[in-house]
Amino acid sequence: MVTQQTSSRQNGKDQTFVDRWGWLLDVETAQASNFPSGRGEAPLVVPSRARALRRMKMNGRRRWEVLVASSLAASALAQNQQPILPQSPSIIPPLGFGTWRLGKYNASEAVSVALQTGYNHLDCAAVYGNEKEVGQGIIDGLEKSGHRREEIWITSKLWNDHHDPDKVRVALDQTLRDLGLDYLDLYLMHWPVASHNGENFLDYLSTWKAMEALLPTGKVRHVGVSNFSPRQLDDIISNADVKPAVHQFELHPYLQQTDWVEWHHAHGISVTAYSPLANANPVYGSPGQDTKTPPSLLENKEISDIAQARRCTNAQVALAWGIGRGTSVIPKSQHADRIRENFESTKCELKDEDYRTITAVGKKYLHRFNKPGKDWGVPLYEDLDDADV
């Protein structure tokens, strides 16, 4: 793939900007792509004769071409939806409460406790099978906490069996009824996978167009994606009128995906980390049961040493690390004490040396836990760390 480099004149010299994945952007492109990343650094200015395209090395595997910066800029300029920037916690709260695997018997109470504790960000999904109970918890939690609906960020997700464009609004309306809401702050395509008549296959472009069409209805404020690979996200952006506002995917100290996270930041797409406590959830099997399975993050020695030094718990260290990277995190628990413990992670202050230690942990125990691709018969996370192909 060949791209044509453009440049701008600054102080009599051609100048370009370099984004975090090695792309060269001219001044206008950089601005249209929401550059810099929101962490406060100024972009690097380099001579325009530098190479217009670079390739990323992904964990020793084959190199792949990421996205063309100029096409991203065009998409950003054309969109009607404003991207959610990582540096805008007033828009999407950095600490949320997840509802995955909350049973119908305890989902309402857990959500209510979370809202009373101070969480103002809930993550839901139709496939979790508990949205009615979550909705009851929202009503109870708002009443007891004194908050209004408008003060709470609520996300839900479209499941694979409703990828048909004619079914997208039907699915949204059902979610809104179950949750007892008039609108969602964010609606995500849960996977780039459609399910029909017992078959699973990659299908998302027409579904995305149908999700774009939800925005004018007022029933959703933002739309985004979840579990997409770089190539699939490229497809969306190249064919979309509205750029995804948020990409939600698995992130934790055992699966850091730093380059992928930084790319989203540089291009104005917010990142939400699910399973931020890694294998603390028993659905991911028994931690440390063999040499290929990392120890529980809640018992990891390196994390424990940091927790002791900072007077935090292991969970709080992991969540503070995720928030410190500019992502939002959505831990889940059904226990009131752990719900409160996770909420206190915003007070856990990590040092630079802690981030370096956690980086080393990620290299030592690189592991992705959520891998449904083989069961579904479709490749997932292509070109990403510990891909499911």
Which positions are annotated as active-site residues?
128
Q: Is 363 exposed, middle or buried (0-12, 13-18, 19+ CB in 10 A)?
A: exposed
Amino acid in the structure at residue 170: V
User: What phi and psi values does residue 231 have, to the nearest 5 degrees?
Assistant: -65, -40
Return the sign of the alpha-carbon dihedral for residues 68, 69, 74, 76: positive
Say whether the peptide bond before residue 36 is cis (omega within 30 degrees of 0).
yes
Q: How many Å apart are CA 327 and CA 323, to the nearest integer?
A: 5
Q: Structure tokens of 6?
A: 């453009």
3 state DSSP class of 131 = helix
User: What phi and psi values does residue 157 have, to the nearest 5 degrees?
Assistant: -140, 145
- β-pairing verdict for 223-226 and 44-47: unpaired
- β-pairing verdict for 13-18 and 24-25: antiparallel
Place of tokens 């699915």: 171
Order across the sheet with 121-123: list the strands.
97-98, 121-123, 153-158, 186-189, 223-226, 246-250, 270-274, 328-329
Nearby residues of 295 by Cβ (< 8 Å), 6 or more positions away: 287, 288, 301, 365
